Amino acid sequence: MTNMDRAIELLIVDSSFDSAEGQISTLRNAGMAIHPVRVNTEADIVAALNSGAYDIVLCSADVEKSEFDRNIDLCFKSNADAALIIMYKDQEPDPLLNALRLGARDVVSINDPEHLQLVVKREFGDLLIKRELDDTRRRLREAETRCSTLVEHSRDAIAYIHEGMHVLANPVYLQMFGYIEMEELEGLPILDMIAPEDLPKFKKFLRTAESSQGDLEINCQNSAGEPFKATLEFSPASIDGEPCTQIIIRDSAPDKQLQQKIEQIRSHDPQTGLYNRQFFTGHLDRIISSGESAAKPLALLYITIDEFQKIRSDVGIGASDSLLLEFANLLRGELGETGLLARFGDHSFTILQEATNDQASNLAGQLHKSVAAHLFRSDKDLIEPRCNIGISLLTGNIPNSQEFINNAYSACGAARTGDNQGTAFYDAEEMQAEFGGEANETRLNELIQGALENDGFKLVFQPVVSLQGESREFYAVLTRLLDTNGDEILPNHFMGAASQNGQMALVDRWVIKHAIQELVSQREKGQKVQFFVTLSLESLEDKETLLWICDCLRDQRAKGAWLIFQLREADLRSHMTEARALLDGLKKIKCQIAIDRYGVLSKSDTLLKHLPVDYVKFDPTLVDGIAGNQALQDTLVKLNTETQSHGVKTIVMGVEDANSLAVLWTIGVNYIQGYFLQEPSDSISYEFTGT
């Protein structure tokens, strides 16, 4: 920041109005923007200085010595960081020298206007640098505090070594080596932690370049001399400004029970105990990509509870949740140890079973019988749910899990609407005309049109969290289409159809309108949330988009600063003229801009030079499997540094594990988004403080 970037808040301590006006004119004639205030009484001086609002204080020495001493004393006793400059005319040098000894920045004759201009410019520039330095030191202290907290609570053993001696270690490290207090470890050589038979290996490692940053598998020993295998990870660090080495020790034999528990949480639905959607689709992808399915017939059953939203409305959330658990247990009991059963959605389930056409049909029939025979009870009434089952058989021309699941989902829709006792098959040859191709797309477009007219979409929200200690409450807004049974259809299933049929801009408008409504509601509750909202290519091309957004903000009394609009890099590059017009307009109403799917096209930073961009969201292919891929890490480091050099903040989506998080933190990306933090939810409740 330079002196002319903002107005100087100027306090003039002077009993003479004319003298003060002369100083003001002198500074303004030099092109300086100033906000001057003149004070004289003790009370006014104290109030002004204690407000902390001033940058420069011009204190007149053309007063009685006692008054001048009082004014100087008041200036130095205040907590203000303003620069004090003494203005004089014919005074003796002693009072002026004394003021300099006490801390005045300079003394200036009122008869030397150029000197005053130069001194004020210099002091204001120095003051800004001092404040920036103070802020940097504060943020450094906060970062060090956060790092210390992370180290203290880390599940890994961490220690800091200076000249071969321990200077700091966390509780896990102490426990691993059999110590209780840090005092026992201070000054103890790291060599004492290595098993005797591996000391030559360790000393040899220390003489290599890898010892400053590298890994070493070795046998360690605890305070009782008991050996254990461990991996030591070395990296440079500092403690109280002194260079040292950080060592992270991961026990080579981790607690299997803990690992199993973590895996259970990651792969299972907490409400029903069944496998979750993520695990099911991942398992299915592995089967299809490996070719395992070629040797055996596989059937996918997509099961939904019919009219579940009506049931929930009638019996309440608690009873309907109990119904879901009972239903899941019934399916589990019928399936036994065969097949893979998952809770796929709110009230939908999937079964992957090795089965022929007839075997899958028999299983579906048995499930219908069991559901009909089971007594589902709420607190007051007997509930008699009906289920619909769609069946898809895996064939060689199904490329991935998504299409396989889509086929079963389409068959489930047919089961709900047809005269088929609640079960329908999807057959690529016999049923394409009825449920696939143009007919299926037409039905989807009708569903989208109905959702536009009757609010049949649903917004869900996923937090976007800072890795730099910021606590701003960012959420990405995602859209779900609800089918006639209340099941959620994901964007990759319906956005293509909406775009093909010219409905995408209308979908964007529905999302924007309801996102703004939610923002207003959250702000009224005191939550200072901001939303990332996607604009499609169709909205980019629509010349009415900007005006429509302005109307929405005005109608709902919302502020543009609450919104961050994101557009795909490919769309921006192919429509630069429209992009520049839309983005410039959005910036005028204080909205921020993000580029989505960034970094895979050549010379991506060209957009940053020509468009008013605040954030980029890296393309997921740049970070997929990054924890174990050094080439990807190197690419992202370069791209992240290049992007931030333009003053643009970086976001990584799809973060699903702690290893990726650690790499991204090291690379220095600004924000992350993904299932590791929280899956998309219809509630806005993520705790940002302290993240």
Domain contains 177: yes
Indicate which CATH number applies to the domain containing 34: 3.40.50.2300
The predicted model gives 580-593 an average pLDDT of: 95
Say whether 455 sits in a helix, a strand or coil.
coil
Q: What tens digit of pLDDT does each residue of 417-445 get?
A: 656 678 988 855 544 444 344 445 667 78
- What is d(CA 1, CA 133) in angstroms, rounded to the nearest whole number? 12
Same domain, 501 and 549: yes
Predicted local distance difference test score (pLDDT) of residue 430: 45
Same domain, residue pair 477 and 604: yes
**Domain shared by 484 and 610, yes or no:** yes
Give me the residue label for tokens 């791209």: 639
Residue 64 has pLDDT above 70, yes or no: yes
pLDDT, position 624: 81
Pairwise pLDDT comparison (415 vs 452), residue with the higher score:
452
Q: In the predicted model, what is the mean pLDDT of residues 539-544?
A: 93
**Same-domain status, 276 and 417:** yes
Q: How many Cα neighbours within 13 Å face the side chain of 319?
A: 19
Question: Quick one: what percent of the chain has pLDDT higher than 70?
Answer: 92
Cα gap 89→529, rounded to integer Å: 56
Residue 544 forms part of a structural domain: yes
The answer to whether residue 679 sits within a structural domain is no
d(CA 46, CA 85): 17
- Structural domain containing residue 207: 154-254
| Nearest-angstrom CA–CA distance, 318 and 337 | 29
Query: Considering the chain, what is the average pLDDT of its residues?
Result: 86
Condensed to tens digits (0 to 9), the pLDDT of residues 14-37 reads: 988 989 999 999 999 998 999 999
pLDDT band (50, 70, 90) for residue 261: low
CATH code at 165? 3.30.450.20
Q: Highest-confidence range of 498-502, 563-567, 623-627, by mean pLDDT?
A: 563-567
How high is the pLDDT of residue 251?
53
pLDDT (0 to 100) of residue 394: 86
pLDDT in tens, 290-312: 776 666 889 999 999 888 877 87
How many distinct structural domains can be found in the chain?
A: 4
What pLDDT shows up at residue 39? Answer: 92
Looking at the structure, do residues 353 and 492 belong to the same domain, yes or no? no
Flag whether pLDDT at 659 surpasses 80: no
650 lies in some domain:
no
Asked if residue 611 and residue 478 are part of one domain, the reply reads yes
24 and 131, same structural domain? yes
Write out pLDDT tens, residues 481-496.
Answer: 988 777 778 787 788 8
Please check the confidence at residue 544 and state whether its pLDDT lies above 90.
yes
Which of 192-206, 400-414, 433-447 bottoms out in mean pLDDT, i.e. has the lowest? 433-447
> In this predicted structure, what is the pLDDT of residue 671?
93
- The answer to whether residue 638 is domain-embedded is no
Residues above pLDDT 90, as percent of the chain = 39
In b/e form, how buried is each residue of 450-459, taking b as 16+ CB within 10 angstroms?
ebbeeebbbb
The answer on 222 and 345 residing in a single domain is: no
Closest by Cα among 118, 123, 104 to 26: 118
| Residue where one domain finishes, among candidates 600, 617, 634 | 617
* pLDDT tens digits, 668-690: 999 999 877 787 888 898 888 64
- Residue 263 resides in a domain: no
